[in-house]
Structure 1
């Protein structure tokens, strides 16, 4: 049985704090996570985004309409206490990253992949001072341990908020490198999304798509944009 939505139990929503951490209060009581931890937020902009979600609730609270609150809760309750595992999962994606596996044919697809993915690899080389190897086909290629170690060091410098967004964006795109580049603001959001879907877009051009697939992609795109904005707001 599905639980009934909770009724709105507060009248006033506010952001408190003059410097980090910032808090969101409901009738002057600080917002807490599902694990009852205080939801301390790193920037006023992120606190305002969370507060806006709570202020927008009607008679009944709809958690699905509060993505920034959900991500913030995840950062505090999961990522802060389990960051090594989260980092390892992102590094695992980098070990078989989408942009490192190129088509053997046709020429058009090969060229599209190169145009979209080579800038990502160039950014990774400059950012991590390490190379990610590229292969043709789908047979796994082992990435240099130095490159994966550099990726892990990069993630180690990220806040729980950025790691939360990065982890979600990585699973949504299949590319830790595209996600990291986007979260750092080194690629436009639309370009990042298209880079993650070069193969899919080529297949659609050849064979078309169905409505269910379009809905799934639209949903993932919304999630990606929310995570990217969360990353920006947390800086």
Structure 2
């Protein structure tokens, strides 16, 4: 099977990323192709860094060159391809799927992607607080409030907090301030990373805090899973949920790299 045939069959074009669990399940249903190349590497050509399989540029499902402006991203892509063993498993290639999506989808729809990130800010997970128990309330305040305050200072807007599931409309001024920051995220690769970070964390606030350098990837992940971790501390975590979280984390790490380096 050629590089183009493989990418056409197993790539994931379009703006949205597949759920990592669903992707893994689909990959298990499909017969996986044998590895058909000896070496995957990053090669600089025409001002971009190409992912090359035995010297030949890989292509996206839309047959665009799998090439990016960031050397770090290209190296991560090449490492993902090189890490494939006897068979090529797309479920273990989150970076490739996300970059395919960036090049084939986000590149032509970047304004719609930006608008969706701004819309998320209108109902951001960090703006909805628990009323009880006290320990969870205090933990949300301790972890989330400094992040929100730092971002508010950076963008010049104030978010409205709510308790429980009652919807709280955000001021247009803060949404406009968010939109200005989102507009500064380069398309398509970094923007695709931002969109995936937002989806996986449920938070535009955390996404912008990462993009602005106010928080690192580990702290953002922990903040996004504060409520979940609190529940795990009380009830424990079942094996299936733990596996899903591992897959989500791999998707998240790939998205963060694109956001910060793309």
Both structures adopt the same fold (TM-score exceeding 0.5) = yes
Relative distance call for 1:21 and 1:203 in structure 2 (3 A) is: same
**Counterpart for residue 223 of structure 1:** 251
Structure 1 position 41, deviation (Å):
0.5
Q: 2:237 aligns with which of 200, 209, 216?
A: 209
Instruction: Write the deviation string for residues 208-228 of structure 1: whole angstroms up to 9, x where unpaired.
Output: 333222222232223222322
For residues 146-185 of structure 1, the aligned pairs below 5 Å read: 146-159=173-186, 160-185=188-213
Instruction: Quote the residue 1:88 is aligned against.
Output: 115
Alignment RMSD (CA, Å): 2.2
Equivalenced residue count is 234
| 1:223 aligned counterpart, secondary structure | helix
**Could you tell me whether the CA contact under 8 Å between 2:41 and 2:52 is conserved in 1?**
yes
Secondary structure in 1 aligned to 2:42?
strand
Q: For the structure 1 residues 137 and 12, does the alpha-carbon distance in structure 2 shift closer, same or farther, using more than 3 Å as the test?
A: closer
- Contact kept, 8 Å, 2:95 with 2:251, in 1: the verdict is no
Residues 210 and 7 (structure 1 numbering): CA distance in 2 closer, same or farther, change over 3 Å? closer
Aligned 8 A contact 1:162 1:183 in 2:
no
1:64 to 82, 91, 108: 91
With the length of structure 1 as denominator, give the TM-score of the two structures: 0.89
Answer yes or no: is the 8 Å Cα contact 1:20–1:44 preserved in 2.
no
Q: Distance in 2 between matches of 1:27 and 1:216?
A: 34
CA distance in 2, matches of 1:213, 1:10: 35
1:45 aligns with 2:72: yes
Task: For structure 2, list consecutive stretches of 5 or more residues without a partner in the other structure.
Answer: 1-25
Per-residue deviation, 1:4: 2.8
Counterpart of 1:192 (choices 202, 220, 225) is 220
Instruction: Measure how far apart 1:3 and its partner are.
Output: 4.1
Between the aligned partners of 2:38 and 2:240, the Cα distance in structure 1 is 40
TM-score, length basis structure 2: 0.80
> Mean alpha-carbon deviation: is it higher for 31-40 or for 51-60?
51-60
Deviations 1:159-198 (A, max 9, x none): 2222111111111111111122124432132221221122
- The question of whether the paired residues in 1 share the 8 Å contact of 2:147 and 2:214 is answered with no
1:72-107 deviations in Å (ceiling 9; x for gaps): 111101111111221222122111011111122232
Structure-1 residue corresponding to 2:261: 233
Deviation at 1:19, TM superposition (A): 7.6
Work out whether residues 77 and 95 of structure 2, in 8 Å CA contact, stay in contact via their aligned partners in 1: yes
Equivalent residues in 2 for 1:131-150, closer than 5 Å: 131-150=158-177
